[in-house]
Chains A and B, each alone.
Chain A
Amino acid sequence: MDVLLQHLINGLVLGGTYALLGIGLTLIFGLMNVVNFAHGEFYTLGAYTAFAALALAGVGFFTALGTAIVVGAALGGLCERVLLRPLRGESIDTTMLVMIGVWIAMQNAELLGWGGVAKTIPHPFPTAPLTLGPLSVAPLRVFVFVTALALIAAAHLLIQRTRLGRAMRATFQDRDTAALMGVRIGRIHTATFAFGSALAAAAGALLGPVFLVYPSMGDLASLKAFSVVILGGLGNLAGATLGGLVLGVAEELGAGYVSSGYRDAVGFVIIILVLLFRPSGLFARAERIG
């Protein structure tokens, strides 16, 4: 029983970060219809930015996190403005190919710039785990989980309660009407992509200290993010949140009770099964956005 609970805890903590990745992508993929294969690269970028800030510039942990978010947003916005906006009318394949190009370019640039050796990000939390009977969890992971949830909540608030959020929802529900009502469509697109990328960068900055930072860390992250998005339904933030947690727990339980080798297959299988049987996602509701 304790083993099961330990697996659950492991799964939830991991799931929180999957959720963070998923929310960013569900906005980009779900709302903008861009198959962002470079999403994982923004995750990696966030991790390297945090590393640079902490290990090289020596700033505090929270400042590093903030820097990562800002850099992610800036680069995301730039990406959208320069690469995606001119292609807006094109087929989905075209944008997909562009993002694949960005993915390859970013990853190899990172390899060239930082080298292939993994980096550790120092963090201020004690290494001794928090314990509750036979269960243990590291303080850093608790922090990551809590922060992830906070960011998710902030994202929800932004979409539901702010003017920007309203404008986003309007744009993606009915672009022409939104334009007629005075919404600056171009800006909304840029802002949405920037926002999604910022969330990915945040996930990277949070997970960087937990694991290690290396150039190919984003590949699996990308695919798992897609898994979460499909599980939760495109454009569905609550769905993505739940989906992330579900994926995390499913992976843990799969690795624990079935086979650790096939751990990553869980995400793939989810994609296949959901798309075949319930393409709108497990948690889809009538309303598509938010």
Chain B
Amino acid sequence: MIVLARTALAVALVTAPLWLASSYHVHVLIMAGIFVILASSLNVLLGYTGLLSLGHAAFFGIGAYTSALLALKLEWSFWLALPAAAALAGTAGWAIGRLALKLRGAYFVLVTISFAGVIALVSTNWMELTNGPLGLPGIPAPALGPWSLRTKTAYYYLVLAAAAVAYLVCARLVRSRIGRAFLALRENEPLAESVGVDSTHYLVLATVVSAAMAGVAGSLYAHYTRFVSPEVFLFSYTVTMVIMVVAGGKGTLAGPVVGAVLFTILPEALREATSWQWQMLVYGVLLVLLVFFLPRGIVPGLQRLAPRRTP
């Protein structure tokens, strides 16, 4: 039964470009895929180690700009630019992790926000590097040998593959010793430390992985939209990510996926129904309601509805 569901899902996703009504729908799924990676990356921190980072848009943006600049200025191939973007974002994550290792809770949040704020200002003001608010247009699409991956379908499979890899990385991480260490730190740090879990080591690891993943999402975004501007650092992206993770279910693997898909498709589907302001208002209220009534998110909520053994 479970296997059947899983295969059905896999088949549906792999054949999506065939049965979806138009390339617009493929476009929406591509964006959803990018956000799946982004939400999963935030989940590593928020869901598994319990650290709330509200500066995640910074890692996303760093990934996007790095990839864009390498492709535009140094004419690197996408396949080199993407790992470089992940590496740079991961390094930034490492820096945050190491610097903030004494901080928890609210202080960590504030440092991440401040970091994101500074990076955003740098991207707007450092004209020579980032072209400031004028942005970087004309980012080349990736190419696989002689074939350009510019078409929707091709890019969809790229993003699908990346999202699948991201999911698998998270899954393996969570089920490994590292994952157990994360959980131990989240639940009771002093106790974990007393049993020999080196919190510094694991928290920094979590931040690096999380940031690198966000960087990958950034690179994919840059080469898809082919235009990057400081708006990638908009706080609304961070808020959207947080809602995706919290609504989907932090600390679960499927949670951010469900959240990302839901909150990418929903605004698109509601385009004609209501104005963006009303939607945002609802999201705000929704966040409050979720905290009260569905604190663990949709996925665990569904789990409770259909009581089976959890993984």
Contact = CB atoms under 8 A, between A and B. Distances in A.
Q: Do A's and B's CB atoms come within 8 Å in the complex? A: yes
Interface of A: 29, 33, 35, 83, 86-87, 91-94, 96-98, 100-109, 111-112, 219, 223, 226, 230, 259, 261-262, 264-265, 267-269, 271-272, 275-276, 279
Given A106-B284, A108-B280, A92 B121 contact: no
B117 interface: yes
B235 interface: yes
Nearest to B113: A223
A107 to B, nearest CB: 8
Interface of B: 46, 50, 52, 99-100, 102-103, 105-107, 109-111, 113-115, 117-118, 121, 124-125, 235, 239, 242, 246, 277-278, 280-281, 283-288, 291-292, 295
Contacts of A100: 239, 242, 284, 287
Contact of A230 (B50, B110, B280, B285): B110
B125 A105 contact: no
B6 to A, nearest CB: 31
A276 B99 contact: yes
Contacts of A111: 277
Contacts, number: 112
23 contacts: A91-B50, A92-B105, A92-B106, A93-B46, A93-B105, A97-B246, A97-B291, A100-B242, A101-B284, A101-B285, A102-B284, A104-B287, A105-B288, A107-B280, A219-B235, A223-B114, A261-B125, A265-B118, A271-B111, A271-B113, A272-B99, A275-B107, A279-B102
A98 B111 contact: no
A108 B125 contact: no
B281 A104 contact: yes
Given A223-B113, A261-B121, A268-B117, A112 B278 contact: yes
B149 to A, nearest CB: 36
A108 B281 contact: yes
Given A92-B105, A94-B295, A265-B121, A272 B287 contact: no
Contacts of A96: 52, 106, 109
Contacts of B52: 93, 96
